Amino acid sequence: MPPHWMGPTAPPASLADLAATYGRRLGDCIAFPGLVNSHDHLAFNCYPPTGSPPYDDFLGWSQDVQANRALVTRIEAIPARLRVQVGLLKNLLWGVTAVADHGGAPVDGPIRVLASFQDLHSPELASPWRWMAGLGPAVTHLAEGVTADSRRRALAFLKENLFRRAVAGVHGVSLEGEDFQRLAALVWCPASNLFLFGRTADAAAALRHTQLLFGTDATISAPGTLWDHLRLARGRVADAELFASLTFRAARFWRHAAPDDLVIARRTADDPWDAFFALTPADILLVVRAGQPVLVDDSLGAPPGFGRLVVGGEAKHVRMNVTDLLAALRPQLDTTALLSRFGCGDLSVI
């Protein structure tokens, strides 16, 4: 039986080729476009969830993080390029083929890093004059808190956007109703919001006024895997909207044309939506980027040169040198704890 395709259009020709290559080894499965994570901080995924929530806004949380000097010093001693690779590994294991790295830059890796936008950080930490420093899309953390003052600061900052540049507002926890029409998109990070503030943005209200995209944020503020985040979010908007926020709508917003990016995963429920939202990293059989596998379940073979990880008891092969990466991290990190936050277990290399 060929994989059940969940995309909004006809499946790419490469799906039939993959089905022919792997045949019955795939079993009963679903396939969908490669996921687009619209918000992460790749270099902050070596951190565990940090702080003592709940907070009124991100400023209080940031102060607590900075006060934990022993943790910050230990993590920041790891070269930034290695911390970014950890962020790429996390996303790959979750089925992501493209990630918007806030404040980052394009890097080589198994998935694409989207960085073709201006980072304004936030109303609290960016000067309004920076609206004048570019002409393309801008991405900014907005209303990242539950107070009326957080909302006021966000709206005042948006008023300074005199050239009406397209703005992707990240978080938007305290925004209300028509506030969302000021945004070209709301990037919704429910797991991060619920961890830090006990509340998240009104995604249903946002959808009445703008596009909805989905982001995971980094592990420093967002416990659980992408699939845990989706289960937290399910029911707040329609399943089809949540799916679009991670796939074709996100790809269109970021101008990420990638028809041959796709994921094949075990089907664990009869209803396609239930099957999709029930997924865990262990269920992912193939992640394909630009037509080439970058993650392969052990049941499908072991590509030469790929690193090997155990994810939820299932061996996976990834197009990364995970042995060298983790060896470089061990002086500063408990790599077993790090991998467990990504849904992993034991490590070995092929």
**Number of domains the chain is built from:** 1
Q: Which domain holds residue 230?
A: 4-349
pLDDT at 348: 34
pLDDT at 2: 83
Average pLDDT over residues 3-22: 90
Task: Give, in degrees to the nearest 5, the angle at Cα 76 between 75 and 82.
Answer: 85
Task: Summarize pLDDT for 128-177 with one digit per residue, the tens.
Answer: 777 767 767 899 999 999 999 999 999 999 999 888 889 999 999 999 99
pLDDT at 26: 93
Residue-averaged pLDDT of the chain: 93
- The CATH number for 179's domain is 3.20.20.140
Cα(36)–Cα(244) distance, integer angstroms: 10
Cα(334)–Cα(192) distance, integer angstroms: 23
pLDDT at 117: 82
pLDDT at 229: 98
Task: Summarize pLDDT for 266-311 with one digit per residue, the tens.
Answer: 999 999 999 999 999 999 999 999 999 999 999 999 999 999 999 9
Torsion of CA 21, 27, 29, 33, to 10 degrees: -20
Establish whether the linkage from the previous residue to 33 is cis, with ω within 30° of 0.
Answer: no
* Residue 226 pLDDT greater than 80, yes or no: yes
* Residue 346 pLDDT greater than 50, yes or no: no
Cα(97)–Cα(189) distance, integer angstroms: 18
Q: pLDDT above 90 covers what percent of the chain? A: 83
Residues with Cβ < 8 Å from 157, sequence gap 6 or more? 123, 126, 128, 140, 142
Establish whether the linkage from the previous residue to 79 is cis, with ω within 30° of 0.
Answer: no
Position 37 confidence tier, pLDDT thresholds 50, 70, 90: very high
